């Protein structure tokens, strides 16, 4: 996986981050762990979340807590080599002695862990009206850097224009279950964009359905190239010269004008801005795993900007409590599938992890699991990070 996060050199610089134990900041200070050290030296490879997790009970609150310190001009700009002071003297702040700022600041998370999901994946409402590849040079079945692909639908385009080549990979949907909660489902898509059960996409499989509310279509960037010739005369396809050697393009892949950067590189953790509906906001897919995600792995959640989620939103992810048959009261003489809700007891939800959203679409978001006590699986519910 290519990294866009450069290694930071270890400079000699000192700054202090101090909580003033006055009436206005006393409550904020209670967020510090009782066993926090007096100082901490920021190291290369640290993230703001990692640092906050060393001395805060709720690490996603570090922007609010550090903003309570008037000594810090920008609480988001912490650098390798900085000395963070957590000492208190008679409820008065020690003060700040900032050092030089010659290197880039550290971020909330490691960009290396999420770069492919920032650059290469997007979720859209529709895609079948986009231009698409109808053929490849010399009738190959795949095309890569240096090869030409022939595209239908580039009416009004200009020679020299750059395009990203996208592959429809998943159709995210939500249906009602018998217990009246919403369940996210995912259809894998074939080369024409029709649903299949299959392989060859970056997500583990959730389920396959052709009904329910559409949450969006996931498109995977597979290549890019420049338009070198327009359709003319009896030729009905325009010509794109591919230049990305990493992934092959194929017939059916869609094209969109190449984006200038359209995603955030800095993330400031915060709780959801509005209440989440845990029956709707669920883990819909897991990256790089058959069934579950652990710390520093990516999940997709069936909630987005329409639900008040934006980049940096922190959620806790929970296994939904089972509806267990009350065998004491009703016995086990019948098959469990025939037992009605009246003979069942709803058990508590079980906490699995905290995750931070780093890419948001209308009804779907990608989130990075920041810390976990157990694997996070498809169908787990997303709640406020302070949920107990």
Q: Alpha-carbon distance 172 to 209, whole Å? A: 9
pTM score above 0.85: no
Q: Is residue 83 part of a domain?
A: yes
Long-range Cβ pairs for the range 146-150 (8 Å, 24+): 146/241, 146/242, 146/243, 147/241, 147/242, 148/228, 148/239, 148/240, 148/241, 148/242, 149/225, 149/239, 149/240, 149/242, 149/249, 150/237, 150/238, 150/239, 150/240
Instruction: Name, of 31-40, 97-106, 122-131, 186-195, the range with top average pLDDT.
Output: 122-131
Find the mean pLDDT for residues 3-23: 30
pLDDT of residue 208: 36
pLDDT of residue 207: 38
Query: Per the structure block, which two tokens stand in for 74?
Result: 């920008």
Q: Is residue 262 part of a domain?
A: no
pLDDT of residue 200: 42
Q: Is residue 274 part of a domain?
A: no
Q: Is the pLDDT of residue 233 over 80?
A: yes
pLDDT of residue 134: 96
Q: Is residue 276 part of a domain?
A: no
Q: Is residue 268 part of a domain?
A: no
Length of the chain: 388
Q: Is the pLDDT of residue 369 over 90?
A: yes
Domain count, the chain: 3
| Distance of alpha carbon 9 from the chain centroid | 28
Q: Domain range holding 101?
A: 1-107
Q: Are residues 127 and 248 in the same domain?
A: yes
Phi, psi of 64 (to 5 degrees): -65, -40
Residue where a domain stops, chosen among 107, 135, 168: 107
Q: Is residue 12 part of a domain?
A: yes
Find the mean pLDDT for residues 237-256: 94
Residue-wise pLDDT tens digits, 343-356: 778 899 999 999 99
Q: Are residues 342 and 248 in the same domain?
A: no
Here the CATH number for the domain that contains residue 357 is: 2.40.10
Residue-wise pLDDT tens digits, 30-86: 566 666 667 777 887 788 788 777 777 788 877 766 665 555 566 667 778 877 766
pLDDT of residue 184: 58
Residue where a domain stops, chosen among 50, 77, 107: 107
Q: Alpha-carbon distance 145 to 225, whole Å? A: 8
Q: Is residue 64 part of a domain?
A: yes
Closest among 107, 75, 145 to 3, alpha carbons compared: 107
Q: Are residues 289 and 348 in the same domain?
A: yes
Phi, psi of 329 (to 5 degrees): -85, -30
The H or E element containing residue 172 is strand 162-176
Residue where a domain stops, chosen among 107, 137, 160: 107
Q: Are residues 30 and 11 in the same domain?
A: yes
Q: Are residues 94 and 186 in the same domain?
A: no
Q: Alpha-carbon distance 58 to 187, whole Å? A: 36
Q: Are residues 297 and 223 in the same domain?
A: no
pLDDT of residue 27: 39
For the chain, what is the mean pLDDT?
Answer: 76
Query: Per the structure block, which two tokens stand in for 218?
Result: 């996931």
Q: Is residue 14 part of a domain?
A: yes
pLDDT of residue 96: 40
Q: Are residues 303 and 349 in the same domain?
A: yes
Phi, psi of 215 (to 5 degrees): -100, -15
Residue-wise pLDDT tens digits, 144-183: 999 999 999 998 899 999 999 999 988 888 776 544 445 5
Q: Are residues 152 and 240 in the same domain?
A: yes
pLDDT of residue 282: 93
């Amino acid at each position: 996986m290519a990294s866009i996060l450069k290694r930071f050199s270890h400079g000699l610089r000192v700054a202090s981050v101090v909580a003033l134990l006055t009436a206005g900041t006393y409550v904020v200070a209670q967020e510090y762990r009782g066993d926090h050290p007096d100082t901490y030296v920021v190291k290369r490879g640290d993230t703001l979340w990692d640092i906050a997790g060393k001395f805060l009970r709720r690490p996603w609150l570090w922007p609010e807590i550090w903003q309570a310190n008037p000594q810090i001009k920008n609480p988001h700009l912490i650098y390798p080599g900085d000395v963070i002071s957590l000492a208190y003297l008679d409820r008065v702040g020690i003060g700040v002695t900032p050092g030089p700022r010659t290197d880039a600041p550290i971020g909330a998370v490691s960009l290396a862990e999420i770069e492919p999901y920032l650059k290469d994946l997007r979720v859209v409402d529709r895609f079948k009206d986009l231009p698409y590849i109808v053929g490849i040079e010399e009738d190959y079945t795949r095309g890569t850097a240096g090869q030409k692909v022939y595209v239908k639908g580039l009416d009004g385009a200009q020679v020299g224009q750059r395009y990203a080549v996208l592959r429809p990979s998943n159709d995210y949907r939500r249906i009602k279950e018998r217990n009246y909660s919403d369940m996210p489902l995912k259809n894998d898509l074939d080369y024409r964009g029709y649903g299949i059960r299959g392989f060859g996409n970056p997500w583990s499989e959730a389920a396959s359905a052709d009904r329910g509310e559409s949450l969006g279509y996931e498109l995977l960037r597979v290549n890019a190239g420049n338009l070198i010739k327009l359709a003319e005369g009896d030729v009905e396809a325009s010509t794109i010269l591919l230049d990305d050697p990493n992934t092959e393009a194929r017939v059916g892949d869609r094209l969109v004008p190449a984006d200038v950067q359209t995603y955030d590189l800095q993330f400031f953790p915060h709780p959801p801005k509005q209440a989440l509906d845990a029956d709707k906001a669920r883990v819909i897919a897991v990256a790089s795993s058959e069934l579950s995600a652990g710390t520093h792995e990516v999940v997709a959640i069936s909630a987005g900007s329409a639900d008040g989620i934006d980049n940096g939103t922190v959620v806790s992810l929970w296994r939904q409590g089972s509806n267990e048959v009350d065998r004491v009261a009703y016995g086990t003489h019948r098959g469990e599938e025939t037992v009605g809700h009246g003979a069942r007891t709803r058990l508590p939800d079980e906490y699995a992890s905290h995750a931070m959203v780093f890419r948001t679409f209308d009804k779907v978001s990608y989130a990075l699991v920041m810390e976990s006590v157990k694997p996070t699986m498809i169908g787990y519910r997303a709640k406020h990070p302070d949920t107990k």
